[in-house]
Structure 1
Amino acid sequence: MTSGTPKTAGPAPERPRRGGPRAGVLGSAGLYAATGLAALLFLVPFYLIVRGALSTDPEITGEEWAFFPSDIQWGNITEPFEDPTVDFARSLWNSAVVGTLHTVGTLLVCSLAGYGLARIPYRHATKVFYAVLGTLMVPTAVTFVPSFVLVSSLGWVDSYRGLIIPGLFSGFTCFLFRQYFLGFPRELEEAARVDGLGHWGAYWRVVVPNSLNFFAALATITFISGWNSFLWPLVIGQDPSAWTVQVALSSYMTNQTVNFHLIFMATAISILPLVCVFLFLQRWLVQGIAQTGIKG
């Protein structure tokens, strides 16, 4: 006679993983190998810059290749600063000022525009947003000459204002801020409005302090872009005292001579600030890019 108590089914047997643990080890090894190879390829240009910076011109242009110079030329480090034709220290300072102010101004202007498009109710907000996106389709060459004419008429040639102000607004950065603010928790802003804060107070006291990762990510990208800009500083900085570091680097190459070791050393010095900024902000850079909200 069978019992009336129903039998409980035991847990389903776990299916063995396809390939077993060995496949997982091989997959991890392949992933690490591919990552290491990619990292090595990205480091090759840096190796070539350092090697050329500590070599002589015959070693750089010679037919025989050596992994590293036999006699390291440490004196090349001070040579860019001793060149009487180019004030390299001044150009580094100009790039630092332009890159910093350009980053701060771009983040402020574009974050305010993105927050306004995402949060402030306005009948034509969508049209304004589409107009901002439309600026991304206009080639830079189309606006280059009108921008220069405007800057020249204002008397901003050979000045920080001419180097910084025309590039403060970026349609793509505004788009990223809007997408991010659309996914920002509204509950925090509603709590701020209960405390009597308006749109500006909610933005400055609630949104910005809780979005530092995203701001740091865009700050890194914007600073690198401002530091590496060449064409606009070349046209605006006509006097050598207004040259940025990229313009100063181009002056080492003339129709008559090319000083290879000087170019390599100046390049190595010019990328050190970018490496320091990236190493300092890389943690926030990865987290901020993951929070762009583009998927939404």
Structure 2
Amino acid sequence: MTTTAPESGKPRRVRRGSVIGNTGLYVATGVAALLFLIPFYLIVRNALMTDPEITGENWKWLPSHIQWGNVSELFHDETVDFGRSLWNSTVVAVLMTVGTLLICSLAGYGLARIPYKHANKVFYAVLVTLMIPTAVTFVPSFVLVSSLGWVDSYRGLIIPGLFSGFTCFLFRQYYLGFPKELEEAARVDGLSHWSAYWRVVVPNSLNFFAAMATITFISGWNAFLWPLVIGQDPSAWTVQVALSSYMTNQTVNYHLIFMATAISILPLVFVFLFLQRWLVQGVARTGIKG
């Protein structure tokens, strides 16, 4: 297969294998994207249907009549205050993200940059926490939170999850590869470790902070088990707990479940679309390879 080069006018050969390979790549990517979008299509489709249409024997690609009233029914449901649950999830996810980034970035910077003879031992202790199953610490954490009177409060939902050993590990790996010249110049100008961190390191690490913020926000928004135990009063429910309440032993409100699901994933979609490029770049800069 030959084509004409635009500048020289001479024929230029194009390998047939590369064309076939690129076509196969595009087809595989398109199929993967289609499979990825199927769950979102089903959520939106069912959210705008009635229960008889969702559970009917005859499959319908689209609702016969779009049920926009499902949105109003969801937010006016007296059994579940979904608007309050959205607010609770927003507060928990945002504060957890800010607190986790602050604590873990300081811990990671200290382990990577501040000279201390026991730094490696502390780092290994942090790594050991990653090997402890969550189920082992769940009951002691609940007993501690309950004794402090933090049940049904934002403190009980947020504070126990502020430190993440994995996030601390990623920050340490990132700071090990951070240019030392910038910090040395700051030290020459008389800045302390604290000032160098805030005035030099953080402003030059915003891409990585955005990546970690995306991961932490999604994790905080999707948390279910801990908010289920701590948020015993309906006023303290998060979105994930509220979703579970639409499915009981007596009834299953399919249209409300799917409508609530569609609304609850919108913040995650916006956050991911806005920060996706920093998410890939940030993880690539942690030093983890292979």
Return the match for 2:58 from 52, 55, 64. 64
The CA distance in 1 between the partners of 2:285 and 2:32, in whole Å, is: 25
Instruction: Give the one of 279, 286, 289 matched to 2:283.
Output: 289
The reply on whether 1:184 has 2:178 as its aligned counterpart is yes
Deviates more, 1:65-74 or 1:213-222: 65-74
Aligned-residue offset at 1:286: 2.0
Deviation at 1:246?
0.6
Deviation for aligned residue 1:20: 4.9
1:120 counterpart (114, 118, 130): 114
Cα separation, 1, equivalents of 2:289 and 2:32: 27
- Work out whether 1:240 is the aligned partner of 2:261: no
Which residue does the alignment assign to 2:45?
51
Equivalent runs, 1:1-296 vs 2, <5 Å? 20-295=14-289
Q: Distance in 2 between matches of 1:135 and 1:249?
A: 31
Segments of 4+ moved more than 2 angstroms: none
Partner of 2:3: none
Q: TM-score, normalised by structure 1?
A: 0.92
Q: C-alpha deviations, 1:39-94, integer Å up to 9, x for none? A: 11111111110010001111111111111112111111221101001111000000
Aligned to 2:10: none
Contact 1:180 1:294 in 2 (8 A): no
Render the CA deviation track for 1:23-54: whole Å, top value 9, x for unaligned: 11111111111111111111111111001000
Provide the C-alpha distance between the structure 2 equivalents of 1:129 and 1:238, rounded to a whole number of angstroms: 36
CA distance in 1, matches of 2:112, 2:256: 49
Q: Map Cα deviations across residues 80-117 of structure 1 (whole Å, 9 max, x no partner).
A: 10100111100000000000000000011001000001
One-letter code of the match for 2:183?
A: E
Distance 2:212 2:282 in 1: 8
Larger Rg: 1
Task: Report the count of equivalent residues.
Answer: 279
One-letter amino acid of the structure 1 residue matched with residue 137 of structure 2:
T
The answer to whether the Cα contact below 8 Å between 1:110 and 1:177 also exists between their aligned partners in 2 is yes
Letter aligned with residue 83 of structure 1: D
| Structure 2 CA distance for aligned equivalents of residues 247 and 166 of structure 1 | 18
SS of 2:117's partner is: coil
Matched residue SS, 1:252: coil
- Counterpart Cα distance in 2 of 1:104 and 1:92: 18
- Provide Cα deviations, 1:139-170, integer angstroms capped at 9, x if missing partner: 00000000000001111111000000000001
Q: Percent identity?
A: 85
List runs of 5+ in structure 1 lacking aligned partners.
Answer: 1-18
In structure 1, distance between residues paired with 2:207 and 2:239: 29
Q: Distance in 2 between matches of 1:132 and 1:32?
A: 43
